[in-house]
Amino acid sequence: MGTNLNLGDALKKRLFESNVNLSDVLKKIASDAGFISSAGGKFAEGESLEVLFVSGGTNNADTIVLKDTSGDNYSISAQSLQGFLSDDEYNALINGGANKTEDASATKGATEIVLDGAVEEVEKTEATSETKDTSAIQDEIDALETQREANQKSMETLKDQIEDLKEQIEQSIQDALAAMEEIEEEQKKKAEEVVAEELKKFQESNGAMSQDEFSSNVKSALAAINPSMGEALTYIMSADNNMALMSNLLNQLSQKIDIDKQLGDQIDGKEQELEAAKAAAEAAKSAASSSSSSCRPCDPIGANFGENLGFDLDGDGDAGQIQIDFFYDEDGDGKINSMNDFVGAKSDASGADGWDEMSAMDVDGDGTISDDELANNNVKVMITEVDDDGTKSQRALSIEEFTEQVGKGDLEISTQKHDEINNNVVGPFGFSDNDSNQMLGTFDIGFSEDDSVDTIGYQTLDDQNWLVENYSDNMDIESLKAEGVDVSAVESANAEEAGELSQFEEFVKQYQDEVMPQLQTEINDAYAQLGLTQESISIFKDLAEATAELEGTKIANKLEEQEKQATQKAEEQEEQADEAEEAAEEQQTQQVDAHEEAEQEILEEKKLEDE
C-alpha cells in the first residue's frame, strides 16, 4: 500500500535538508504514550515503525503515513512531529531547512529515505497526470454513452416500425378477406386451374420467367376471372411483404439489443477504471488510512496475468488481461454464494491471517500448492477477463479446466508470503488501495512449463460493497442478500438496465413466438382461398423476402446515418460546452488578476504616502 502515491516534495526535501534522524524520531513515536493511545489498540508495545509514504507539499497539508511491524498504518501531520524534534530540527523541517540547492542526488536520497527503495514506482507515478488520466477515461465513457443512447433511439424506432407493420398486415388481411366475399365458389375452382397453369409455365421456363413476372401473370389471370380476386391477391402480397420486412426488422432489433449489452459492459468496465483512477488520485493527495469497519471480512487471493500473454479464455478471439481469484465451491455451482467462499475470508473474519487457509493446502509440505491440493479443497478460480475494448467477462473454472485452457503446465503457488509488499504486484481489477481496499501480502505464482508467465499474486482486504460491485457477475446475489450482505447497489443497477432491455427482449420474443406465427397462418389461409398451391405460395414468399431485404437495408443504412449524426452532434455540443467553460475560467482569472493588480497599486501608493 502506498507505492502508487505521490511524495510530498516539499516535506521530502526538508526531511533530507534538515538532517533529521528518522530512526530516532520513529523510536520516540513508537514509545510515545499519546501515539499508542490514539492508535486504538492497533499498535502493540515492542512494535517498530517505518515511514511508508509522504503526501502533500505545503506546510499544512503534509502528511506522513507510518507502518508498524504487523502492517497497520497511521497518519500523522508534519506539525505533530514537533514533540519529537529539537527546536532547530522542527524549524528547519517546517520552514524549509538550510538554504541548500536541491540537486538530483539530494532528491533521490530523500526518496530512498521515505519509501525505502520503492523509487522506480513512485517516480513513474509522479510523471502521470491525474487530470489527464481521469478526464481521458471520462471522455471514453461519454463517447460510449453517446453511442449507446443513439443505439437505443434506433431500437425505439425499430420497435415503432414493427408495431406499425403489424397494424398494416392486419388491415391488409381484413381487406383481402372482404374482397374475397365477392368471389363465387365456381370462380375459386377456376382460379385453382389458372394458378396451376401459370405455375407450370413458370417451372417449364427454367428461369426465363422471373418471380415478378409469375406474380404479375397470376394477378392478371385472377383479375380476369373476377376483379376482386386480383384485388385480394394484391392485399395478401402486401401483407406477405410486410411480414418479411417485420422479420428483417426484428432481427435488426435483436442485433441492437446485443450491441446495447456490449456497450453497457464496456461502460461498466470504464467506470470501474475511472473509480480506480479517482481513488488513486485522491490517495495521492491525502494519506489513506486502514478502515476498521465491520464490513470488511473478505480478502481475495489471486493474481493478474497481462494481456501480452495472449490468454483468450472466453474464446471470443480477443486476448485480454486475465485475473484469477480463488474461491471455495462446495456445491459446485460455480458461484460465490457467501462472502466466506473467498479463500481466506473465514480466517480473516476471526482475526487470523487469511493466507493461513491458502498455505495450509500444502499438505505434502513441499512449499508449493499444487493443482491437486487446490482441487481437493473444492477450490476453483474465478476468471475475470477484460478485452482491449473494455468488455469484461467473468465466470468460474475448475483448476483443471483453467490450466488446460492456458496450456502452460500446472499451476504453481508458493506458500511463502513475502514479508514486504512487492512493488510489482497488480491488485484486482478496480482495486484502488484506499479505504475500500488494502494490500495485505504478495506471493509468487506461475506455471510449471513456462517461466515467462510467472507473476506476483495478491492478498487483499476489501469492503463488502466493493466485492459485490466487482464480482457480482459470478455471485448468487439472492444468497448473499439472505446472508445480510448489502447488494442494493447491484440490484438497482441490474434492475434498471435489465428493465430497459427486457422490454425490448420481451417485445422481440412475443412477436417471433406469437404475433408472426398467427399472422402468417392467416396469410397462408388467404392464399389458399384464392386457389394458390404451396409451391405458388413459396414463390410469393421468396419474392416478399427479396423485397424486404432491399427495404430492410435501406432502413438499416438510414438508422446508421442517424446514429452517426446524433453522435457527432453530441460531440460538438460537448466541445462547445468545454470551450464555454474554458472561456468562463479565463474571464474569471483575468478578473482576479485585475483585482490583485488594483490592490497592489493601492498598497504601493499607500507605501509611498507613508514614506
Could you write out the DSSP letters of every residue in 311-344?
A: --TT-SS---EEEEEEEE-TTSSSSB-SGGGBTT
Per-residue CA distances from 316 to 218, 313, 320, 391 (Å): 50, 8, 10, 11
In angstroms, the CA 257 to CA 504 distance is: 7
276 CB-side CA count, 13 A:
17
pLDDT tens-place string over residues 404-433: 888 888 999 999 988 778 777 888 887 877
pLDDT value, residue 298: 63
In the predicted structure, residue 58 carries a pLDDT above the cut 80: no
Q: Which one is predicted more confidently, 591 or 536?
A: 536
pLDDT value, residue 7: 36
In angstroms, the CA 494 to CA 506 distance is: 17
Confidence of residue 162 (pLDDT cuts 50, 70, 90): very high
In the predicted structure, residue 446 carries a pLDDT above the cut 80: yes
Closest CA to 412 of 455, 460, 442, 360: 455
In the predicted structure, residue 24 carries a pLDDT above the cut 80: no
Q: Coil, strand, or helix at residue 50?
A: strand
| Range from 378-382, 466-470, 592-596 carrying the lowest mean pLDDT | 592-596
Give CA 394 to chain center in angstroms: 11
pLDDT value, residue 290: 36
Residue partners of 428: CB distance under 8 A and separation at least 6: 300, 302, 304, 323, 325, 384, 458, 460, 462, 470
Q: Which one is predicted more confidently, 43 or 283?
A: 43
Cα 255–Cα 542–Cα 198 angle in degrees, nearest 5: 170
Closest CA to 151 of 539, 448, 510, 570: 570
535 CB-side CA count, 13 A:
10
Listed as own residue / partner, the contacts of 264-269 with beta carbons closer than 8 Å and 24 or more positions apart are 264/148, 264/497, 265/390, 265/391, 265/392, 265/393, 266/144, 266/389, 266/390, 266/391, 267/141, 267/144, 267/145, 267/148, 268/392, 269/386, 269/390, 269/391, 269/392
Contact 75, 63 (CB under 8 A): yes
pLDDT value, residue 128: 41
In angstroms, the CA 327 to CA 377 distance is: 10
Residue spans per domain, the chain: 9-127, 135-267+498-571, 296-477
Q: Please, what is the average pLDDT of the chain?
A: 77
Average pLDDT over residues 270-281: 74
Query: In which residue are the cell numbers 501515539 written?
Result: 35
CATH architecture of structural domain 135-267+498-571: Up-down Bundle (1.20)
Averaging pLDDT over each range in 89-93, 154-158, 447-451, which range is the top one?
154-158
Residue partners of 547: CB distance under 8 A and separation at least 6: 241, 244, 245
In angstroms, the CA 535 to CA 408 distance is: 58
Helical (H) or strand (E) element with 577: helix 534-610
Q: Which one is predicted more confidently, 609 or 354?
A: 354
Average pLDDT over residues 570-590: 77
pLDDT tens-place string over residues 473-503: 888 888 888 888 888 777 666 655 656 778 8
In the predicted structure, residue 400 carries a pLDDT above the cut 80: yes
Cβ density class 197-231: b for 16+ within 10 Å, e for less: ebbeebeeeeeeeeeeebbebbbebbbebbebbbb
Contact 477, 464 (CB under 8 A): no
Percent of residues, the chain, with pLDDT higher than 70: 76
Give CA 22 to chain center in angstroms: 43
Residue partners of 453: CB distance under 8 A and separation at least 6: 305, 309, 406, 408, 446, 447
**Assigned C-alpha cell, 510:** 412475443
**Over 471-490, what HEC string results?**
HHHHECHHHHHHCCCCCHHH
In angstroms, the CA 607 to CA 340 distance is: 73
Sheet of strand 379-386: strand arrangement: 368-369, 411-414, 437-447, 450-462, 301-305, 321-328, 379-386, 392-398
Query: In which residue are the cell numbers 427454367 written?
Result: 206
Average pLDDT over residues 189-215: 86
Confidence of residue 59 (pLDDT cuts 50, 70, 90): very low
Percent of residues, the chain, with pLDDT higher than 90: 19
Q: Which one is predicted more confidently, 521 or 118?
A: 521
